[in-house]
């Protein structure tokens, strides 16, 4: 064994350690099963009611995917408009920025009044929730494009549509992707939280229902499922980023990226 452990191995060791502790601490009686059921009993609970969890997962996934389409599609579209045209920017941006600071979850009860307690109200809430950061990032991504690049393209005879396809879109992609990462994560949060509040289906609903009857293993099985959902989403985004981003380093957009990601990581829930 070499003297130094790489960061990656260390990270894996930490995860394995935490998993082991999760199993051992409750078993040894150091933590009451009500607070933290052991990993094996959590998995067991999930396994015995696999059908129920599977159905809940399907509902949640459906809501996440539809909300994601609304949030990302709408966010990119409106962000592109707001980012490239100064007039709508002046009108809309101050509103959007202050809206971003409002804990949007206060709107959720209103949505249930309008749309019922089915999937529609969750989709509406999560879409709006994830829409804002996507839009802000897209708008910022387009505004931070170096005007010299557009001037250079024009000097080479690029038409408006060529400038859009060959300059504006590729230059904005890194920032837009970081917006999608934040926006997508918020969509998952939005769906699960709204399911926990007022609902009749989905993982959030299961967690909330089992909590009221103090069935901790079933609660944690739901939590695990949400965790996997988030990890899966992250993996997808990573894959897209790798596919799309040769230019992560050394671009202005790449730097703007980090600012947005870090400032947007604290959503007001």
Partner 1 sequence: MQPLANVTPLKPAARAGAIEVKNVGQVFKTRSQDVIALEDVSLEIKPGRFVVLVGPSGCGKSTLLMMMAGLRQQTAGTITISGAPILQPDPDRVGVVFQEASLFPWLTAEDNVEFPLALRGVPKAERRAKAQDALKLVGLDGFGRRHPHELSGGMKQRVSIARGLVQDPPVLLMDEPFAALDEQTRMTMGDELLRIWAATGKTVVFVTHSLTEAVYLADEVIVMSARPGRIVDHLQVQLPRPRTYEMLSGDAFGSLRDRIWRHIRKSA
Give the residues lining the site for partner 1 (CB under 8 A).
Answer: 146, 148-149, 151-158, 162, 166-167, 170-171, 173, 246-247, 249-251
Residue (28 or 156) nearer to partner 1, CB:
156
Q: How many CB atoms lie within 10 A of CB 23?
A: 16
Residue (31 or 245) nearer to partner 1, CB:
245
Residue (2 or 249) nearer to partner 1, CB:
249
Compute CA distances 249 → 11, 92, 174, 175, 258, whole Å. Answer: 25, 31, 10, 12, 11
State whether residue 12 is helix, strand or coil.
helix
Minimum gap (Å) between residue 244 Cβ and partner 1 = 9
* Nearest partner of 253 among 86, 140, 93, judged by Cα: 140
Residue (146 or 258) nearer to partner 1, CB:
146
Contact 217, 45 (CB under 8 A): yes
- Chain-centre distance for alpha carbon 249: 23
Q: How many CB atoms lie within 10 A of CB 181?
A: 24
Minimum gap (Å) between residue 147 Cβ and partner 1 = 10
Residue (162 or 263) nearer to partner 1, CB:
162
Minimum gap (Å) between residue 86 Cβ and partner 1 = 16
For 92, residues 6+ apart whose C-beta sits below 8 A from its C-beta are 82
């Amino acid at each position: 064994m070499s003297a130094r452990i790489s960061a990656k191995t260390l990270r894996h060791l930490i995860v394995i350690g935490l998993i082991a502790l999760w199993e051992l601490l409750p078993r040894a009686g150091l933590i009451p099963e009500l607070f933290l059921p052991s990993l094996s009993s959590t998995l067991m609970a999930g396994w015995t009611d696999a059908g129920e969890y599977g159905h809940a997962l399907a509902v949640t996934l459906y809501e996440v995917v539809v909300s994601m389409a609304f949030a990302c599609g709408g966010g990119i579209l409106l962000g592109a408009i707001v980012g490239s045209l100064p007039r709508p920017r002046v009108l809309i941006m101050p509103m959007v920025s202050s809206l971003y600071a409002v804990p949007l979850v206060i709107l959720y009860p209103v949505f249930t009044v309008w749309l019922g307690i089915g999937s529609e109200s969750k989709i509406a809430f999560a879409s709006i929730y994830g829409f804002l950061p996507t839009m802000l990032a897209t708008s910022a991504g387009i505004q931070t494009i170096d005007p010299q690049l557009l001037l250079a393209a024009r000097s080479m005879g690029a038409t408006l549509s060529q400038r859009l396809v060959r300059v504006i879109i590729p230059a904005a992609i890194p920032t837009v992707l970081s917006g999608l990462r934040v926006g997508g994560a918020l969509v998952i949060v939005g769906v699960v939280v709204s399911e926990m509040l007022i609902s009749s289906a989905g993982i959030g609903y299961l967690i909330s229902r089992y909590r009221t009857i103090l069935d901790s293993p079933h609660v944690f099985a739901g939590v695990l499922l949400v965790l996997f959902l988030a990890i899966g989403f992250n993996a997808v985004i990573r894959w897209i980023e790798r596919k799309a981003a040769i230019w992560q380093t050394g671009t202005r957009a790449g730097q703007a990226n980090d600012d947005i990601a870090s400032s947007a990581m604290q959503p007001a829930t």
